[in-house]
Amino acid sequence: MTDSSFLTSGQTDEAAAGAAVAAVDPEALLTVRHLRVVIDGLHILHGVDLDVAPSGVTALLGRNGAGKTTTVKAIMGLVPRTGSLRFAGAELVKLPTHLVVRQGIGYAPEDRGIFAGLTVAENLRLAERDGSPAYDLVHELFPELKQRAGQLAGTLSGGQQQMVAIGRTLLNGNRLIIADEPTKGLAPKIVSEVADVLERAAATVPVLLVEQNLALVRRLAGTCVVLADGRTAHRGGTAELLADEEAARRLLGVGRPAPGPAAGPAGGPAAGSGSAPASSTVAVPPPVAPTAAVTTEVAP
């Protein structure tokens, strides 16, 4: 999955921007190359490259404002984009959202998109796309959704709402699920529930997970892509990145501060080890203004 021929360590952003198209991983389910987004004249994404593995969880990481949500919105066609988005052999970059969805991509947005005044069953029914929604699968993975079918979604816990959000994406035989910060704002106990939800879902369908909780990322994601300032700054094995204190601090703002006056923000030490795949990194300039660091709050 890892593309060590992509950007070599120490390569600058400028060099990266002018680099040839990154080699394509033939096994990747979704291959994003040179993804650019301009909104109202503002250049938000300058060239995002990422590959989503054909199984399990691929994490999309980066500091606040790095461009993670814009990247997934661009994949879904929710913002104007250029570049290449090859999904299971089909090019999506010119498709509007409803046709991207029909290709088999389920999206659980940052705000969950739950209708609080409707029941769990009604929320799921609204997501049905064809004549044979996979309620058996959804109820098998999340029995609570069956038990709470008549409950108003607005009265569910944050973790239960995430079950609805993820459950909706599983109803229609999707081939990829994209979940944007499903643990945002949740208490640690609920984060743990959501981790279980994602783990169950990922056993069935590959997941592209935008996440700031590194304990959860470490538990779920084999590979990761890190964005910085609207560009891909790193791709590789998750355990490998989190075990590299210097890289984790530079790319994600976590880990022990480096010695000297330019020490970064303190955080929990990154763990993880083992035979991680090779990685590729470009130099990331320090944020201009103080940037919120990725949390190391324990999920599992």
Ligand X SMILES: Nc1ncnc2c1ncn2[C@@H]1O[C@H](COP(=O)(O)OP(=O)(O)OP(=O)(O)O)[C@@H](O)[C@H]1O
Query: Cβ closer to Mg ion: 44 or 105?
Result: 44
Query: Cβ closer to ligand X: 74 or 93?
Result: 74
For position 232 contacting Mg ion by CB under 5 A, the verdict is no
Tell me which stretch binds ligand X (CB under 6 A): 58-66, 138-146, 191-199, 277-285: 58-66
The least distance separating ligand X from the CB of residue 258, rounded to whole angstroms, comes to 23
CA 104 to chain centre: 17
For position 42 contacting ligand X by CB under 6 A, the verdict is yes
Distance (Å, whole) CA 168 – CA 22: 34
Give the ranges where the chain is alpha helix by DSSP (H).
Answer: 13-17, 68-76, 97-102, 120-126, 135-141, 143-147, 158-170, 188-202, 214-220, 238-243, 245-252
The least distance separating ligand X from the CB of residue 224, rounded to whole angstroms, comes to 14
Query: Cβ closer to Mg ion: 69 or 280?
Result: 69
Distance (Å, whole) CA 118 – CA 195: 25
The least distance separating ligand X from the CB of residue 20, rounded to whole angstroms, comes to 26
Triad 171, 175, 179: Cα angle to 5° = 75
Binding to Mg ion (CB under 5 A): which residues in 44-73? 68-69
Q: Are the CB atoms for 251 and 228 separated by under 8 Å?
A: yes
Q: Are the CB atoms for 226 and 241 separated by under 8 Å?
A: yes
Distance (Å, whole) CA 208 – CA 55: 10
Task: Pick from 32, 44, 92, 293 the residue near ligand X by CB under 6 A.
Answer: 44
Shortest-Cβ-distance residue relative to Mg ion: 69
Tell me which stretch binds ligand X (CB under 6 A): 65-73, 158-166, 238-246, 276-284: 65-73
Binding to ligand X (CB under 6 A): which residues in 181-210? none
Instruction: Choose among Mg ion, ligand X, none what residue 64 binds, the Cβ cut-off being 5 to 8 Å by kind.
Output: ligand X
CA 273 to chain centre: 22
For position 67 contacting ligand X by CB under 6 A, the verdict is yes
For position 288 contacting ligand X by CB under 6 A, the verdict is no
CA terminus-to-terminus distance, the chain: 25
The least distance separating ligand X from the CB of residue 228, rounded to whole angstroms, comes to 10
For position 65 contacting ligand X by CB under 6 A, the verdict is yes
For position 64 contacting ligand X by CB under 6 A, the verdict is yes
DSSP state of 279: -
**Pairing mode, if any, of strands 176-180 and 231-237?**
unpaired
Q: Show the tokens assigned to 102.
A: 């029909």
Query: Binding residues for Mg ion, per CB under 5 A?
Result: 68-69
Contacts with ligand X by CB under 6 A lie at 39-40, 42, 44, 62, 64-70
